[in-house]
Amino acid sequence: MRQAYSTARITKNKGYDGKFFFGVKTTGIFCRPSCPSPIAKEENVVYFETIFEALDQGFRPCYRCRPDVEVTYYNGNVNGIFLVERALEMIYDGFLHDHNLEALAVALKVSGRHLRKLFMDNLGTPPVAIARYHKALFAKKLLLYSGQPVTEIALASGFGSIRQFNDVFKKVFGKNPTTIREEASALMPPPGSHKSLPEDGPLHNTRLLLKYRPPFHFQELLSFMRLRAITGVEVVTETSYSRTFRTKRARGYVTVTDNPGASALELRIGCDDIRCYMEVYNRVRKMFDLDTDVSEIHARLSTDPNLQLGMTDGQVPRLPMAFDPFEFVVRAILGQQITVKAATTFAGRIAKKAALHTGDGFPQGLDAFFPDPTELLSLDLSGIGLPQTRQATLKITATHILNEQVSLTPNQPFEHFHRDFSALKGIGEWTVHYVAMRGLGMKDSFPATDLGVIKALTRDGKAPTKKEVTTLADRWRPYRAYATLCLWNQKK
Reported as a single tens digit per residue, the pLDDT across 374-427 is 999 999 999 999 999 999 999 999 999 999 999 999 888 899 999 999 999 999
261 is a domain residue: yes
Domain boundary among 267, 290, 313: 290
Reported as a single tens digit per residue, the pLDDT across 226-253 is 999 999 999 999 999 999 999 998 999 9
202 Cβ contact partners less than 8 Å away, ≥ 6 residues apart? 272, 360, 361
181 and 225 share one domain: no
Q: How far is CA 452 from CA 188, 351, 475, in A?
A: 45, 27, 19
| Other Cβ atoms within 10 Å of 487 Cβ, number | 25
| Other Cβ atoms within 10 Å of 300 Cβ, number | 17
Count how many residues are written for the chain.
Answer: 492
228 and 280 share one domain: yes
317 is a domain residue: no
109 and 52 share one domain: no
The CATH number of the domain holding residue 28 is: 3.40.10.10
Q: Is the pLDDT of residue 118 over 70?
A: yes
Q: How far is CA 408 from CA 77, 190, 324, 339, 378, in A?
A: 22, 35, 10, 24, 21
Q: How far is CA 209 from CA 34, 146, 169, 267, 272, in A?
A: 21, 8, 20, 6, 21
| Bridge partners (DSSP) listed for residue 251 | 246
89 and 176 share one domain: yes
- Closest to 449 measured CA to CA, from 422, 476, 430, 471: 430
Distance CA 332, CA 326 (A): 10
Reported as a single tens digit per residue, the pLDDT across 74-85 is 444 555 578 888
460 is a domain residue: no
Report the predicted TM-score, pTM, of the whole model to 2 decimal places: 0.89
182 and 208 share one domain: no
422 is a domain residue: no
Cβ-contact 56, 81 below 8 angstroms: no
Cβ-contact 221, 323 below 8 angstroms: no
349 is a domain residue: no
13 and 108 share one domain: no
242 is a domain residue: yes
183 and 86 share one domain: yes
First-last CA distance in the chain = 43
Domain region containing 258: 204-290
pLDDT above 90 covers a percentage of the chain that reads 77
Q: Is the pLDDT of residue 299 over 50?
A: yes
The CATH number of the domain holding residue 218 is: 3.30.310.20
Number of domains, the chain? 3
Q: Per mean pLDDT, which range of 67-71, 132-136, 479-483 is the poorest?
A: 67-71
